[in-house]
Amino acid sequence: MPDGLGDVARSEVLRFEVLGPLRVLRAGSELDLGYPQARALLGVLLVWPGRPVRMSTIVDVLWPGRPPADAPNAVRRHVGTLRRLLEPGLPPRAPGRRLLGRTGGYLLEAAAHEADLPRFRALTRRGMRAAATARPEQAVRHFAGALRLWRGPVAAGLPGPVRAHPHFAAVDREILRTARMAADAALLCGRADQVLPSVRRAVALNPLDEPLLARLILSLAACGLQAEALATYEDARRDLAAQLGVAPGAELAAAHARVLRRQIRPARHRLPAAPPDPARPFVRPAQLPPDLPVFTGRNRELTALDALLDKETAGAPQTAPDALRGAEAVPAPAPSTGACPASGVLISGPAGVGKTALAVHWAHRVADRFPDGQLHLALGGSAPHQAALEPAEALRRLLGALGVSTRSMPEGVAALAARYRGVLAGRRLLVLLDDAACLAQLRPLLPEAPGCLTVVTSRGGPIGPRPVAEPAGPAGRLGLSGSRERAAGGLRTLHLGLPSEADARDLLARRIGAARPAAEPEAVREIVRRCGRLPSALALVAARAASRRDFPLAALAADLAEDAEP
């Protein structure tokens, strides 16, 4: 190629990836896709490259809920940004050859070899044709090739509400369908080992898909992993009961029976069970975030949490004190048989109410009751512009903190959760899981190991169905109602309300010193009222007041009042 033309050609070589983290690569280098909405727009078009997507669909995906009035204009601006990114040097307002306008929408031009999703679909179709003509080994080869293109949740990295749109959910269903077909073909010809990792990952994507779970259990047994197959069934049975209130269906139960009776064709290549890692001893983690030095108030909640831990530690039949009693009567749990039985607490409440501060403060108070250490993990359930932490990745981070090497970690959520429980067996640890998104994310992370306590924080009531409001005062209450405990996956629930007005004033005084609030009590009351008693808002105001010690609190209150005016 003449000098200079080779560089031009290489600069036009693009690779589009949506079967996992959303990426565009030029000559092997990843491009910065810019704002989240521009990334989301590209993801929408990559689901069906070469096909036009209507403007209404694009708007619906980019703005879940109520879109702004100028949404179409915003889409056009994002289109212009992406055009210049994909085709550097494109003149202003030129349509280029990649991102094209069509009547009522847009399409992305990408050849089959440039985008992973068209290649995935082509290989899947070849696998289906081979399976339909009784060629299971060829089918496995094509299905396995398709699944190798799949690197994680579709369009990972986009905000959770965007990824939850049916436009992307349909691709998730395609992947699950391909994984089921791959498992069927592999079990038929003794090649289960070739698709087992992909089937494990597919179950992690949809842990309540019973047909897929059945195939995972059969594939594990075919590969010689009988114990893991039976453990996977037990995990599935518990999850179905806890989350859906149902028993395993006929297909899943039949797979379990076949494993017990050893009625499965073994794979040609058997896989060894994940060995223990004796070279790396148990690590005593100490991961709690620093306690807030100015923490104040919440005495009622702290007393309730202490009482809960004391009752369970003592192993006595539990009669909940007023602070621990919910709206309904709850049967007393069985007496403890260990020093500290498995238990968990969910601290829920609106944004800014102080859930994490309370959880961290109480965790430091009781840390000495857990001599084997403390784990902390941020789950990102409410983090803006990014997806919540996937259960498999969360388990890998927890296991890594406990000294388990990456090499010895198994694949799939069920296997990782089993390993996590095994490492914690016989230990006494405190686990703080901050900002949980939903029960599906949380459930595999609950160790259910005697001696361990899990403290979870989550906004509002996202763990399962939205709970019924409890008759609580401003400080909230720890509710042990049967319906609420089921909704929280067995966790006892503390719904955290606003602090009292006295506690809110004290919070402000602890941060800026007692002298200024004492000199301007009316201004303090007005600041507390304008902040709605939210600890996060009061902390911001306190930081501003601390940075301007010559600034009267009355002037600060007046600024808040002015900001609140329409």
- The Cα-based distances of 139 to 68, 177, 199, 353, 383 in angstroms read 47, 14, 15, 55, 41
- What is the C-alpha R_g of the chain? 28
Over range 481-496, report the average pLDDT. Answer: 57
How confident is residue 432, by pLDDT bands cut at 50, 70 and 90? very high
Looking at residue 97, its pLDDT comes to 86
Q: Is the pLDDT of residue 437 over 60?
A: yes
Distance CA 482, CA 320 (A): 13
Over range 341-352, report the average pLDDT. Answer: 75
Distance CA 541, CA 280 (A): 48
**DSSP annotation of 24:** E
Crossing angle of the two packed helices 535-547 and 553-564, in degrees rounded to 10 = 130
Among the residue ranges 8-17, 70-79, 441-450, the one predicted with the least confidence is: 8-17
How confident is residue 460, by pLDDT bands cut at 50, 70 and 90? low
Could you tell me which residue, 311 or 467, shows the higher pLDDT?
311
Distance CA 433, CA 438 (A): 12
Q: Give the three-state DSSP class for 13.
A: coil
Q: Is the pLDDT of residue 355 over 90?
A: no
Crossing angle of the two packed helices 501-512 and 535-547, in degrees rounded to 10 = 30
**DSSP annotation of 408:** G
How confident is residue 45, by pLDDT bands cut at 50, 70 and 90? very high
Distance CA 268, CA 321 (A): 60
Output the CA torsion 134→136→138→141 (10° steps): 160
**Could you tell me what percentage of the chain is helix, strand and coil, using 3-state DSSP and rounding each to the nearest 5?**
50, 10, 40
Over range 368-381, report the average pLDDT. Answer: 87
Q: Give the three-state DSSP class for 155.
A: coil
Looking at residue 555, its pLDDT comes to 65
Question: Residue 412 CA to chain centroid, in angstroms?
Answer: 15
- The Cα-based distances of 529 to 142, 161, 267, 352 in angstroms read 64, 33, 68, 15
Q: Is the pLDDT of residue 556 over 90?
A: no
How confident is residue 122, by pLDDT bands cut at 50, 70 and 90? very high
Residue whose token pair is 């290649």: 119
Residue 361, judged by CB atoms within 10 A of its CB (0-12, 13-18, 19+), counts as: middle
How confident is residue 124, by pLDDT bands cut at 50, 70 and 90? very high
Residues 6+ apart with CB under 8 A from 219: 183, 186, 187, 192, 195, 196, 199
Amino acid identity at 491? L
Amino acid identity at 287? Q
pLDDT digits (tens, 9 = 90+) for 68-107: 888 899 999 888 888 888 888 888 777 888 889 888 889 9
Question: What's the chain's average pLDDT?
Answer: 77
pLDDT digits (tens, 9 = 90+) for 246-260: 999 999 999 999 999
Looking at residue 474, its pLDDT comes to 34
How confident is residue 342, by pLDDT bands cut at 50, 70 and 90? very low
- The Cα-based distances of 32 to 213, 378, 468 in angstroms read 38, 26, 44
Q: Give the three-state DSSP class for 390.
A: coil
Q: What percent of the chain has pLDDT over 70?
A: 76
Among the residue ranges 95-104, 297-306, 464-473, the one predicted with the least confidence is: 464-473
Over range 26-42, report the average pLDDT. Answer: 84
Q: Is the pLDDT of residue 482 over 50?
A: no
Could you tell me which residue, 387 or 357, shows the higher pLDDT?
357
Looking at residue 282, its pLDDT comes to 58
- CB of 85 within 8 A of CB of 98? no
Residue 449, judged by CB atoms within 10 A of its CB (0-12, 13-18, 19+), counts as: buried
Pairing of strands 477-479, 374-378: unpaired
Could you tell me which residue, 559 or 407, shows the higher pLDDT?
407
Distance CA 403, CA 282 (A): 6
Distance CA 40, CA 435 (A): 24
Could you tell me which residue, 279 or 460, shows the higher pLDDT?
460
- CB of 143 within 8 A of CB of 197? no
Residue 37, token pair as written in the block: 């909405």
How confident is residue 266, by pLDDT bands cut at 50, 70 and 90? confident
Distance CA 491, CA 159 (A): 27
Among the residue ranges 59-73, 266-280, 301-315, 342-356, the one predicted with the least confidence is: 266-280
Q: Is the pLDDT of residue 147 over 70?
A: yes
Give the DSSP H or E segment for 237: helix 226-239
Among the residue ranges 14-18, 236-240, 313-317, 442-446, the one predicted with the least confidence is: 313-317
Could you tell me which residue, 353 or 213, shows the higher pLDDT?
213
Looking at residue 253, its pLDDT comes to 94
Over range 333-352, report the average pLDDT. Answer: 59
Looking at residue 125, its pLDDT comes to 96
How many residues are recorded in the chain?
A: 566
Looking at residue 312, its pLDDT comes to 57
Residue 29, token pair as written in the block: 């280098």
Q: Is the pLDDT of residue 120 over 90?
A: yes
- The Cα-based distances of 334 to 319, 326, 418, 469 in angstroms read 12, 19, 24, 28
Q: Would you put residue 104 in left (φ > 0), alpha (ψ -120 to 50) or beta?
A: left
The neighbouring-strand residues paired with 458 are: 348
**DSSP annotation of 100:** E
Distance CA 174, CA 202 (A): 11
Pairing of strands 99-102, 343-349: unpaired
Distance CA 178, CA 171 (A): 11
Q: Give the three-state DSSP class for 541.
A: helix
Distance CA 335, CA 342 (A): 12
Looking at residue 7, its pLDDT comes to 39
Looking at residue 328, its pLDDT comes to 28
Q: Is the pLDDT of residue 4 over 50?
A: no
The neighbouring-strand residues paired with 25 are: 15, 30
The neighbouring-strand residues paired with 29 are: 26
Q: What percent of the chain has pLDDT over 90?
A: 21
Distance CA 373, CA 388 (A): 25
Distance CA 266, CA 220 (A): 10
How confident is residue 159, by pLDDT bands cut at 50, 70 and 90? confident
**DSSP annotation of 457:** E
Over range 125-147, report the average pLDDT. Answer: 95
Over range 251-277, report the average pLDDT. Answer: 78
- The Cα-based distances of 540 to 217, 458, 488, 522, 523 in angstroms read 52, 21, 32, 19, 16
Q: Is the pLDDT of residue 144 over 60?
A: yes
